[in-house]
Structure 1
Amino acid sequence: MRKLHARDKTMALILTVFVCAAAAAAQSSPAGKALTVDRIWSQPSLSGTALRGVAWAPDGKRLSFFHTTGSGHDAVTEIRVMDAATGQSSVLVSAEKLSSVLPRDSSQPTQATGLGRRPPASYQWSPQGDALLFEGPNSLVWYDLKSQAGRTLLSGSDGLADPKFSPDGRWVSFVRDHNVWLVSVAGGEPRQFTRGGTEEIREGELDWVYPEELDARTAYWWAPDSSAIAYLEMNERGVTLYPIQDPTSYTGATHTMRYPKAGDANPAVRLFVADLQGGAPRAISLAGDFATNRMDKNAPAADDPTQTDFYVARVDWLPDSRHLAVQHLNRGQNDLELMIADAATGQAGVVLEEKDPYWVNVADDLHFLSDGKRFLWSSERSGYRHLYLYDVQGKQLARLTQGDWEVVRLDGVDEAAGAVYFTATEKTPIERHLYRVRLDGSGFTRITKADGTHGINLSPGARFFVDNCSDAAAPPRQDLYRADGTRVAVLNENKVAELAEYHLSPVEFFSLTARDGVKLNALMIKPPDFSAGKKYPVIVYTYGGPHAQVVLNAWGGATFLWHQLMAQKGYIIFALDNRGSTGRGHGFESVIYRHMSDHEISDQRDGVAYLRSLPYVDGSRIGVWGWSYGGYMTLNLMFRAGDDFKAGFSGAPVTDLRQYDTIYTERYMSRPQDNPEGYKDSSPINHVDGLKGKLLIAHGTGDDNVHVANTISLINKFIDAGKYVEVTLYPGRGHPISDPPARKVLFRRVTQFFLDNL
């Protein structure tokens, strides 16, 4: 592969470069304090504090949140409520009341109310807005806001998950022992609603892979009139039982999980509806147009491919409580059917179909209007995700958005005003903003004005929103706004005064042009005492995979601060969003299809060529690091672009794509049996002979996402190749190795690794 140098005019620098003004303004003198690994991963966080427990009351006029004063064992937490129209707040539930109504949890250390009990992990408003439901790991407490009295609905040692109010507010449902249960808010014993749940067959409970790769958040759904519950049955008998060993256990203890690896069996999934008044559950018959996907009413064999070669990606009730909308996705993930099912008969029909030559990305943008006759839908059929209005027969009524930019998500609808609110990349792909458009596609308006990335929490009725906003120079803050963009109140300014004590360098955003003319977004952080007359080593930060960006005008947390630490030590930090990453449309992303890493490596090498064209870069001292997919990318770059990188750090990498799960891997690569050469070429484990530089790998032995077997298998390949690399394992840690003690040890080593080898 030809390298590009300064004289090569096809490697063009960019159109624009801008520096985060806030960072430049906040920059301290060159004599500012030096960041340390220990400080970055210690408390209080240099990212400040986020407002916790933000929840809208059902009327959309009140906003509640946790409010804590003091710190450590002296911390006292209460719940406050704010009038969204005025911004005035008052105590909703006092710290004393929280302490008196919450059951003790002996498995957790005492803290946070100041009265010997932990605050609830989370809570939710009742649908009528007259009560709160407090959720603990083993308990549910119903709290009446008028009488300020609590009632324990559930307690004990058995765990629970996914609690929900029924829409009429009379029941609370939850998942326990692989079944859905109900308990009355008036009290009494809970009753088991589903009956067939076991460790192998989950009733109303998600498996591991659906939430991990389809972003599924629940496996059961209340009818709007509270008359019935729809739920998934997930039969995992045919799914590989994967052991994860505890290496610190004297007896070699292991726990097992059902983990479907690429090409292997998925859970067999069925959809049922059961009435609250009793009676046998009714199976929903899903009979789409693509092959091997018919869902029969008889229990399937766990290894029956007609029952495992599709996904029930999303389920929603229509407003009439008589019909369900089911998003039915084939195993190849290139054919998504929106089906409307009769909850009484179980019969279903396709009203809309999305087909793609590569894959269909599942979204959460289906929204039925209150008349039940129209719905909003998002599609990437134009090459970019945009919003459309349909009737329930599948006829397109309007296209709401268009252009070479993406709708990121549908935030909500104000039906009275005929307005739709959504987050999109229209301003720039490196930011996220809130927009409004009318149901006929007119009146397109950007609402958020400040540069940066905005996370929106829209009120019911869409009259107000909470804006969680950050940029590359400032940690996230939360503010309350009216829907027209007028600020009502500052909820959490989150100014971290200590940041001003460090010599933080500004983040420069720009774009460069790859060898084939495609523009690629990039960023750079220079040393605080940068001099254009000197030569600097560079550390490239990469992720590179689908549904993620590293070049984003948003606060980067501890990773950003570690990059600042390395800049203080004399390194330039560089990051580039190669093709395959998100924010630039489906065409930009889908080039990786069936050959992951090829385009990514090419684009990253073009980034290196650009760096080498700069007079202040030492082109012989370029390193790379990344985590998860970024760890996978780091290995591919070290093995397949070894002349470009002198040192690399790979965290929790997939080394053999056959070792990763079905949904993610097959979406981009097809099954291994259908694409054996693609899997071979795209897996770093088959390219270890190309390693020339120094390599450090870290992995948690308890990683249930990317199993540590990936790294162990790679070590064996290095032995066969006669190569030595440094590998550090973290006992019992999961995929992110996120606990502060381990993180400190890890990044002390990573810091020294680059100091020694770059």
Structure 2
Amino acid sequence: MSIDLSQHDAFLDRLLKVPQLYGAKISPDGNFVAWIWAGLAETTQLWVTASTGLEQPRLLVGDDWDCDSFRWAPDSRSIVYARSKDGDERVGLHQVFLDGRAPVALTEDRPDYYIHGGALAKDGRSLLFSANVDENGAEIEPTWVYVQDGPKGGRRVLARPQRAHYGWPLLSPDDRHVLYDRNDPDPAGSQLWLTDLAGSFDREIVNVGPDKKADGSWTPDGKSVLVVAETATHRKIGLWRLARGAVQWLIDDPTRNIANADWPRRAAEIVVDETQDARPRSYLLNPATGTLRLFGPFTDGTLAPVGVLAEGAWLAWHYSARVPARLVRVALEASGPRILGAISTHPSAHIPAPDELVAAEDFRWTSEDSLPIQGWLYRARGDVIGTILDIHGGPTAHDEDAFGIDPQYFAHCGFNVLQVNYRGSTGFSFEFQESIKQQGWGGAEQIDIRTGAEALIRAGIAQAGKVGITGTSYGGYSSWWAITHFSPQIIAAAAPICGMTDLVVDYETTRPDIRPYSEEMMGGSPSAVPERYRERSPIHFIENIRGRLLIVQGANDPNVTPQNVADVRKRLDAAGKPYEVLVFDDEGHGIGRPANRRVLLKRLAQFFAGAFA
């Protein structure tokens, strides 16, 4: 049965025109701010503006390539950015200049390996990055650290880690040292290592255990490394002093749920990011006294600091479910932070008013083992068609009270939407995040999702037989799991997007630098724990499918490759199970182009409406 949802098309078009910002960075001199904007065109673009907020943002890079990431050059006059095509994630590094000079290609585009980072030294020639490639240009499993001399110049290996790893090497502010991490002893851990641009030495500096992670970044003076390290129960923060070769721990408190830390240029204090029940809170830490002060209070959404601008104001993110993320200048006053004005306003952007958008409600329930679980509920506008579970990827991530096109559009169409922060999600305790490893993927976290649907039904928010599920990446895997394991009265329809179907195939075909993540989450490789990989792969349970199924995939996905879809379709056809397929030829791991997003979201709304009719 078809339901006409065309009256919501105009609202969807407006949502798709809301610029989505990420990756904001302040130039070293503090006079400029750059960020990546999505939604203004079919590709992601690099924009820049003066830090004063007195000028309109201007486009630096906008063509038929996606800008994936970037770093400022030390002189603040240019930016090194990574670009890719059609979602294949095989980035090439380029340099773009603020004065309008022609951009320069630093590496080849779309190489047969994966590049991480891309930082220029002060000499303007030495380019630092890591890649899973050897000296002869052949793709390899481990990720090595390189320095390159000039655009497309000769390369020297600075460090040869033994295992594949997803990490960015960081050059110290004085160009003397290179900080990077590696995970040779255990895929679940990471240790901090130090080398230099000459490759004259290579040594480990911080190791908190083979299966524990230590992340680091340089302090503004380049004399220390700011360390965020895992313990058995929490994360702690310290300074590794270059002169002493030892760590001084500044915060080691099991009651604090530390997410990250950064010491921005021009700041006297360290920014400490914490999350409490999926709500971020930022503090400023005095490294000399150890005292903490809240970057707040602030009640009108989330205000998250980025760094200090040249004139002394702070740059911060401001957002909520009803306020799309924007960059603002902030004055820190005795009564709390005061927004001075936004610097990321696009002249042609038409942002919906807050009363046009649905608020994110904090929704709670308990899982089968009595573990408390949290999610965000978006209530339908008007008559309710049904309920959609919108599951985040990762799984090491979480949903928060933040603007999203998908839940706003679905709610406008008449669907209740629940975003589930299942166990394994960040945003809660470190123990909650790590608990997914006890059983591995396809374990208790899927019960958390199912009990979320059941809680909605008990509360009268959802109706049995009118609940569907969708999500991208791990959210796609969870969608596959639900439709192959749960009753149609609980999950009546599933639309997995770029989701794993066979965890062995996923392990063997995914990009090598993220393969250790599977080993960490599953407790080993497929050869080490073959039964676990098999019993947690939805492809072996397709005979249980009794609800509606729509499979969505990006044809160029290097993360969860199309082999996952090809194999499961053979099983579905052999079992006589009906399904629909939607493939995007110019997408990778996720569907990001506005035109494709429009097609996808309209299809999803119609698919779920038909399943619930």
TM-score normalised to the size of structure 1?
Answer: 0.65
Contact 1:283 1:346 in 2 (8 A): no
2:609 corresponds to 1:639: no
SS in structure 2 at match of 1:467? strand
2:228 corresponds to 1:378: yes
Deviation at 1:472, TM superposition (A): 1.3
Deviation at 1:444, TM superposition (A): 1.1
Find 1:667's aligned residue among 520, 526, 542.
Answer: 520
SS in structure 2 at match of 1:366? strand
**Which residue of structure 2 lines up, in the alignment, with residue 623 of structure 1?**
468
**Which residue of structure 1 lines up, in the alignment, with residue 583 of structure 2?**
729
More moved, 610-619 vs 680-689: 610-619
**Which residue of structure 2 lines up, in the alignment, with residue 491 of structure 1?**
343
2:284 corresponds to 1:436: yes
**Which residue of structure 2 lines up, in the alignment, with residue 391 of structure 1?**
241
Q: 1:589 to 1:616 in 2, by over 3 A?
A: closer
Q: 1:431 to 1:314 in 2, by over 3 A?
A: same
Q: CA RMSD in A?
A: 4.4
Find 1:577's aligned residue among 421, 425, 438.
Answer: 421
Contact 1:405 1:584 in 2 (8 A): no
Which amino acid letter does the alignment assign opposite residue 9 of structure 2?
Answer: D
**Which residue of structure 1 lines up, in the alignment, with residue 95 of structure 2?**
163
Deviation at 1:724, TM superposition (A): 1.9
**Partner Cα separation in structure 1 for residue 136 and residue 480 of structure 2:** 33
2:319 corresponds to 1:474: no
Contact 1:624 1:649 in 2 (8 A): yes
Which amino acid letter does the alignment assign opposite residue 420 of structure 1?
Answer: I
Which amino acid letter does the alignment assign opposite residue 248 of structure 2?
Answer: L
Q: 1:641 to 1:343 in 2, by over 3 A?
A: same
SS in structure 2 at match of 1:584? coil
Deviation at 1:639, TM superposition (A): 0.7
Deviation at 1:439, TM superposition (A): 0.5
Deviation at 1:559, TM superposition (A): 0.5
Which amino acid letter does the alignment assign opposite residue 713 of structure 1?
Answer: D
Find 2:314's aligned residue among 465, 485, 493.
Answer: 465
Q: 1:369 to 1:459 in 2, by over 3 A?
A: closer
**Which residue of structure 1 lines up, in the alignment, with residue 444 of structure 2?**
599
Matches within 5 A, 1:236-315: 266-271=140-145, 283-284=157-158, 295=160, 308-311=162-165, 313-315=167-169
Deviation at 1:690, TM superposition (A): 1.7
SS in structure 2 at match of 1:715? helix
**Which residue of structure 1 lines up, in the alignment, with residue 374 of structure 2?**
521
Which amino acid letter does the alignment assign opposite residue 106 of structure 2?
Answer: V
**Partner Cα separation in structure 2 for residue 79 and residue 601 of structure 1:** 42
2:387 corresponds to 1:538: yes
Q: 1:476 to 1:544 in 2, by over 3 A?
A: closer
**Which residue of structure 1 lines up, in the alignment, with residue 535 of structure 2?**
681
Deviation at 1:717, TM superposition (A): 0.9
**Partner Cα separation in structure 2 for residue 589 and residue 79 of structure 1:** 36
- CA offsets per residue over residues 66-90 of structure 1, 9 Å max, x none? 9x9xx99xxxx9976354xxx6x25
Q: 1:615 to 1:741 in 2, by over 3 A?
A: closer
**Partner Cα separation in structure 1 for residue 556 and residue 448 of structure 2:** 33
Identity %: 20
2:272 corresponds to 1:409: no
Q: 1:599 to 1:394 in 2, by over 3 A?
A: farther
Which amino acid letter does the alignment assign opposite residue 179 of structure 2?
Answer: A
Which amino acid letter does the alignment assign opposite residue 532 of structure 2?
Answer: G
Instruction: Identify which of structures 1 and 2 has the higher relative contact order when contacts are C-alpha pairs closer than 8 Å and 6+ apart.
Output: 1
Contact 1:544 1:629 in 2 (8 A): yes
Find 2:401's aligned residue among 531, 546, 553.
Answer: 553
**Partner Cα separation in structure 2 for residue 666 and residue 626 of structure 1:** 22
- CA offsets per residue over residues 377-419 of structure 1, 9 Å max, x none? 00121533332123235433232363544333334246773x1
SS in structure 2 at match of 1:724? coil
Contact 1:463 1:483 in 2 (8 A): no
TM-score normalised to the size of structure 2?
Answer: 0.79
Q: 1:522 to 1:651 in 2, by over 3 A?
A: same
Contact 2:424 2:433 in 1 (8 A): yes
Contact 1:50 1:492 in 2 (8 A): no
Gaps of 5+ in 2: 85-90, 98-102
- CA offsets per residue over residues 193-212 of structure 1, 9 Å max, x none? xxxxx966xxxxxx33x6xx
**Partner Cα separation in structure 1 for residue 592 and residue 265 of structure 2:** 40
**Which residue of structure 2 lines up, in the alignment, with residue 586 of structure 1?**
430
Gaps of 5+ in 1: 1-33, 110-119, 139-158, 166-171, 179-197, 201-206, 211-215, 241-257, 259-265, 287-294, 296-306
Which amino acid letter does the alignment assign opposite residue 379 of structure 2?
Answer: K
SS in structure 1 at match of 2:180? strand
Contact 1:543 1:633 in 2 (8 A): no
Deviation at 1:471, TM superposition (A): 0.7
Q: 1:482 to 1:607 in 2, by over 3 A?
A: same
Contact 1:469 1:477 in 2 (8 A): yes
Contact 1:464 1:481 in 2 (8 A): yes
Deviation at 1:454, TM superposition (A): 3.8
Deviation at 1:720, TM superposition (A): 2.5
Which amino acid letter does the alignment assign opposite residue 494 of structure 2?
Answer: G
2:506 corresponds to 1:652: no
Matches within 5 A, 1:87-106: 89=54
Q: 1:518 to 1:487 in 2, by over 3 A?
A: same
Contact 2:385 2:609 in 1 (8 A): no
**Partner Cα separation in structure 1 for residue 495 and residue 171 of structure 2:** 47
- CA offsets per residue over residues 162-183 of structure 1, 9 Å max, x none? 4289xxxxxx9852337xxxxx
**Which residue of structure 1 lines up, in the alignment, with residue 411 of structure 2?**
564
**Which residue of structure 2 lines up, in the alignment, with residue 176 of structure 1?**
107
SS in structure 2 at match of 1:313? coil
